[in-house]
Amino acid sequence: MAGLLTSPALEFAVESAAGVRIAAAAGAARVELCAALAATGGITPSQATIEAACAVGLPVHVLVRPRPGGFAYSPEEARAIERDCVLALRAGAAGVVVGMLAPDGGPDAEALRRAAGVVRGQEPSAEVTFHRAFDAALAGGADPAGALARLAAAGADRVLTSAGAPDCGQGLRGLRDLVVLAREHAPDLQIMAGGGVTAGLVPALVDAGVHAVHASARGAHGAIDPAAAAAIARAVASGPRSPTRRPGPGARAAGPRGRSCR
């Protein structure tokens, strides 16, 4: 049986080695490394940026998204994603963040399975996160339980989501539901709340039972802000407001198509 709910893991979205250092100072468990967050919602960063970020020492999960826009990819784009995953791991990444949708609007399990296989073939311990393409799938009418099961079977470790809402504040009820559905249909899949996360929202997310919290903590210039990051980290470390059990004994410790991966 799962134990008492503890503080979820904290992940920050960053764009540089400097951002990784700020996240590390705040106490983050890891970062998601992206490029062009403000302009595109996030695309694959350069190899040099990946290498510099990984040299900091905090686990880096690299966003592998070849272009902005929708999440349905051609066979050529899918192969490029697989190659970029390998390059990210060779540069020192601890994991990758991907998201592909099938013609039916749900997660593309076959494309994800191939990418996850390439990732684990390169580094067996590497983690695979499915980004907020999942929210686009939910907005398109995908069955949440079926989508979660599809992701888990295809090799995802976690899904980044606001439960199909524009942000986590509006998606709290849906996030609670996803945590329960994951326990029932995909017990090894982590639910990571992301989208509009603030320090004030964190307690409700923790109470919802999510396994991880993903935040950008952007300042006035668009980059991660040390004070905002520290405030979010303190809120996460404070833990749940009431005793709750974390769903998913096997867990490893949705908006319009074309939305941000954040």
- Per-residue confidence (pLDDT) for residue 262, from 0 to 100: 61
**Residue 224 and residue 23 in contact, taking contact as beta carbons nearer than 8 Å:** yes
Is the per-residue pLDDT at 5 higher than 90? no
- Per-residue confidence (pLDDT) for residue 261, from 0 to 100: 62
Is the per-residue pLDDT at 256 higher than 90? no
- Per-residue confidence (pLDDT) for residue 6, from 0 to 100: 75
What DSSP string describes 111-124?
Answer: HHHHHHHHHHHH-T
Residues 233-262 have a mean pLDDT of 58
Is the per-residue pLDDT at 236 higher than 50? yes
* Percentage of the residues of the chain whose pLDDT score is greater than 90: 86
**Residue 205 and residue 8 in contact, taking contact as beta carbons nearer than 8 Å:** yes
191-206 tens-digit pLDDT: 999 999 999 999 999 9
Gyration radius of the chain over CA positions? 17
- Per-residue confidence (pLDDT) for residue 208, from 0 to 100: 97
Residues 19-28 have a mean pLDDT of 99
CATH superfamily of 9-237: Copper homeostasis (CutC) domain (3.20.20.380)
Is the per-residue pLDDT at 161 higher than 90? yes
Q: Model confidence at 1, in pLDDT bands (50, 70, 90)? A: very low
- Per-residue confidence (pLDDT) for residue 240, from 0 to 100: 78
